Chain A
């Protein structure tokens, strides 16, 4: 089971209302390489992993991704705080506001709703782990794209923390892949 901890993994600060940036950070909330896709990808794949290490890392990183998902939601919530409907409209959030108000909806920056089609589960530990490594790199690249578009240093601080986590996760998945391949090479067939 999971137990909620009533705290963020990392502080979230914003300089002020910023609907333009709020819209952009949604890419990492409900986008193809966002945190919801990451958490669901790892927590879906963990069940059939062949080693305790692989099951453990997928469980732990999947859980950490849920904490990152909450951080992105908090960024959106805070960036939308105090935003008027007119400001939302001027920032291109008119259609979003009409449907969702200021709720944090699972969609990407372009408005496409979240789908499980963003991640794979192939029933093959090597295929799954290589996908996970690629996913971490794509998420890192997305954070860098968002940092290039951001004009808020407080938001950048949080985004940089999240970008660094992708680098560490990539490293850990690489070690798990090595562990699984060693297990496959030493596996005895009866």
Chain B
């Protein structure tokens, strides 16, 4: 199926794939805390995510609130679309 998705959805899907990798490595490290290779991969993916989220937030406002990400003026946290409204 060839659907045109927005630039926002495209960036979000990239973030989703990296963050999923981080979630999976996080759970693995919880039960394998001494695994050096998994830890290196986790730290690497964390760095990539930081850059991707910075790029996304410049265009579409904060991904996280409560002091985790700054916002442009006016306050952009309430900008639509919310995650369930986006066509992926």
Contacts and interface: CB of A to CB of B under 8 A. Distances in A.
Please report whether the interface of chain A is mostly helix, strand, loop or mixed according to DSSP. helix
Contacts, number: 73
Q: Which of the listed residues B27, B32, B87 has the most CB atoms from chain A within 10 Å of its own CB?
A: B27
Contact of B83 (A6, A60, A61, A168): A6
A137 interface: no
A60 B26 contact: yes
Contacts of B68: 3
Nearest to A10: B16
B10 to A, nearest CB: 11
Contact of B30 (A6, A73, A172): A172
A7 B83 CA distance: 5
A169 B63 CA distance: 26
Interface of B: 1, 3, 9, 12-13, 15-16, 19-20, 23-24, 26-28, 30-33, 62-66, 68, 77, 82-84, 87-88
B84 A57 contact: no
A141 interface: no
A74 B85 CA distance: 8
A12 interface: yes
A7 B31 contact: no
Given A77-B84, A168-B24, A7 B12 contact: yes
B8 to A, nearest CB: 10
Contacts of A168: 24, 27
Contacts of A12: 84, 88
Contacts of A70: 83-84
Nearest to A64: B23
Contact of A5 (B26, B27, B63, B87): B63
B84 A78 contact: yes
15 contacts: A3-B65, A4-B65, A5-B63, A6-B83, A7-B63, A7-B83, A9-B16, A9-B19, A57-B27, A74-B84, A77-B84, A154-B1, A169-B27, A172-B31, A175-B31
A3 B30 contact: no
A2 to B, nearest CB: 9
Contact of A13 (B15, B16, B83, B88): B88
A184 interface: no
Contacts of B1: 154
Contact of B20 (A4, A10, A56, A169): A10
B88 A53 contact: no
